[in-house]
A and B are shown apart, each in its own frame.
Chain A
Amino acid sequence: MATQFIANHNLAPLLVRLRQSAELHGPVRGDDGVVRFAAIAPGTLPDLSAVRTLLPPKKYLLHPQETILKYTVRAGYQMPVEDVHQIILFGLHPCDLAGINYLDRIFLDDEPDPLYVARRSVLALVGVSCSPDEFCSCHQLTSPLKALFDLFFNVVEGGFVVTSGSARGDELLEKVKDLLEERVVAVPEDARRFFGHAAAEATRPEPDATLPEWRELASRCLGCGACSICCPTCYCFDVLEFCGLDNCSASRVRQWDNCLFKGHAEVAGGMTFRKDKAERFRYRYRHKYRGFGLSQGIPSCVGCGRCRAVCPAGLDLRPLAERLEGGQRE
């Protein structure tokens, strides 16, 4: 079948073209060696060789710390107005696309979050295929999540096969069509990673609270928070309220939280639902591999490997998940 093919040497001109309609962001390697999603400087290419960025693309949708409500005696309650502009996020791997798909379910489907809605509406998602490394598990676990994209670039010999996944993607393709050629190229069939071979949403029993693994994980965890901060689907946040020094204004702030922290399940009066860190690990596991509440049956782990790559203690929920979820190895 004929596909839209773009040769490697046409990538730079394509990016120039994309930049005309929006800010262009993608994986950029800093002087410190860290790869981050950031604005791609004109005349440079994104680092498409990197397996993962340190922070996932969720940082474009939910900021680590942000004001979600303001109050003044004069104006009453005011929602923040988000100053948004079009951003093309280039170079998202299927796991990160699936991660955004998960966040969409949480922040768009149920009770739409105004800040998320505003930021999501200006984001064009351009995926690029990748090869998993030793930290990845996208190829081991099946998921009902999908890698939804506006454009997707499948890496093939000498270039990319480009597919549009939306009207926005069609528009973008239209702008660059002179750089594309129709060519018959075999695209590697990738059944594992969020492309239409979705697993059904499954309801499973509660993970066994008496497993020794919960305690082992708890005893080794440093509590640094990196696993959730760097997770593309961890969206738990804490809400704090601060009053102004003028004594007639206040702001409500939300910031990323981690379910392994002492305060995550703490309520008024210092009571906590999960006093013990082992219980917190079981909770984390449930959210990552089983889902609960409205996301019951939807595992939120997309297998990007960030939690394992960044954990200073080298903790990994994956072996347990392989055992309990009956993950399929290639």
Chain B
Amino acid sequence: MKKLRIAIAGLTACSGCQLSLLNCEDELPVLLEMFDFQFFPMATSPALLADEYDAALVEGCISMPHEKELLQELRRRSRYLIALGTCAACGGVAALRNGDGRELLRQQVYGHSPVADETFDPIPLQSLVKVDAVVTGCPPEKEELLRMLAGLLRGALPVGIDYPVCTECRMRENLCLLTERDALCLGPLTLGGCGARCPSLSVPCEGCRGPVPEANLVEALEVYAQKGFDRTAVIGRLRRFCPEWKL
């Protein structure tokens, strides 16, 4: 069987999503057997765009002109383009201060250096190109990455999750940090699939996987308000990973 040709690129992000894939040590041999990672600058060299790809996996958001070009190039060359991680899907941490004024942020961080002159407010992939599927998370779960790659072998895209973190948290029979500990747990608004990783360790959900479909922000804000959290605090917390959240 012909190996699937894969491109993996990182835009504005921490490279953690790509690293999650490289951390699948047990599966790396079979991955190399089934896939040809033709463009994967973080892991292989030379990193030259020189072909067409069955799928491009892109981590990170777009904040610089050369990233726009790379993304558009990958889109043109790939049958599927898959957003890898919350930054690619929603903007993520890099987009945290979008709306504060680009000039102000630039001066605060870089002073008068011209180094950041070309940067712009970070945007998610789908604001520029068609995205065929999203594997969200900060970083995505290894299992999700492997399932997505295995699916590609059969020409299938990953099935979207429709339930929030709470669902898996309840399946694990955890103490509910929101109702029982009055913690600002973002589980009800956040896409599941992580197995309620943080609440299972008594850490409130930080919302790193972005919004769940049909998130009921209005009612959630009521519930948080009863626990003593005002709207601004909740929205501020939600926007750490997804600037789309608005009052």
A residues with a Cβ closer than 8 A to B are 30, 32-34, 36, 54-55, 59, 64-65, 219-226, 229-230, 240, 242-247, 256, 258, 261-263, 266, 277, 310, 312-313
Query: Which B residues are within 8 Å of any A CB, using their own CB?
Result: 1, 27, 30-31, 34, 146-147, 149-151, 153-154, 156, 159-160, 162-164, 166-168, 170-176, 178-180, 187-189, 202, 212-216, 218-220, 222-223
Specify the main secondary structure of chain A where it touches its partner: loop
In the bound complex, CA of A69 to CA of B224 (Å): 42
Residues of A within 8 A of B187 (CB): 224
| CA A247 to CA B154, docked complex, whole Å | 7
Which residue of the partner chain, among A32, A59, A258, contacts B167 with CB atoms under 8 Å?
A258
With both beta carbons as reference points, the residue of chain B lying nearest to A31 in the complex is identified as B175
Q: From known contacts A34-B175, A221-B216, A222-B220, infer whether A245 and B153 are also in contact, taking CB-CB under 8 Å.
A: yes
Contact (A229, B162) CB under 8 Å given A247-B1, A277-B214: no
| Residues in A neighbouring B151, C-beta threshold 8 A | 242-243
Query: Cα distance A145–B220 when bound, in Å?
Result: 36
Q: In the complex the two chains form, is B153's CB within 8 Å of A262's CB?
A: no
- Among A30, A33, A245, A258, the residue within 8 A (CB) of B30 is A245
B150 and A226: CB pair below 8 A? no
Q: Decide: A310 and B170 in contact? CB cutoff 8 A.
A: yes
Report the minimal beta-carbon distance from B246 to chain A, rounded to whole angstroms: 18
* Chain B nearest Cβ from A166, distance in angstroms: 28
Beyond A64-B168, A219-B216, A225-B163: 7 further Cβ-contacts under 8 Å? A32-B202, A59-B173, A224-B167, A224-B188, A243-B151, A245-B149, A312-B176
User: How far is B154's CA from A261's CA once the two chains are assembled, in angstroms?
Assistant: 27
The 28 sampled A-B contact pairs (Cβ below 8 Å) are: A34-B174, A36-B173, A54-B173, A59-B173, A222-B164, A222-B189, A223-B163, A223-B164, A223-B212, A223-B216, A224-B166, A225-B163, A225-B170, A226-B167, A226-B176, A243-B150, A243-B154, A245-B30, A245-B150, A256-B171, A258-B167, A262-B214, A263-B160, A263-B162, A310-B176, A312-B176, A312-B178, A313-B222
In the complex the two chains form, is A64's CB within 8 Å of B171's CB? yes
Nearest CB of B to A85, in Å: 21
Q: How far is the CA of A54 from the CA of B166 in the complex (A)?
A: 14
Name which of B163, B164, B176, B214 has the most chain A CB atoms within 10 A of its CB.
Answer: B163
B residues in contact with A65, CB < 8 Å: 171
Contact B223 A244 (CB under 8 A): no
Q: Give the residues in chain B near A240, CB-CB below 8 Å.
A: 159
Of listed B150, B154, B156, residue having the most chain A CB within 10 A: B150
Q: Which 9 A-B pairs have the closest CB atoms?
A: A224-B166, A225-B167, A64-B171, A263-B162, A229-B170, A32-B175, A222-B188, A262-B162, A247-B153
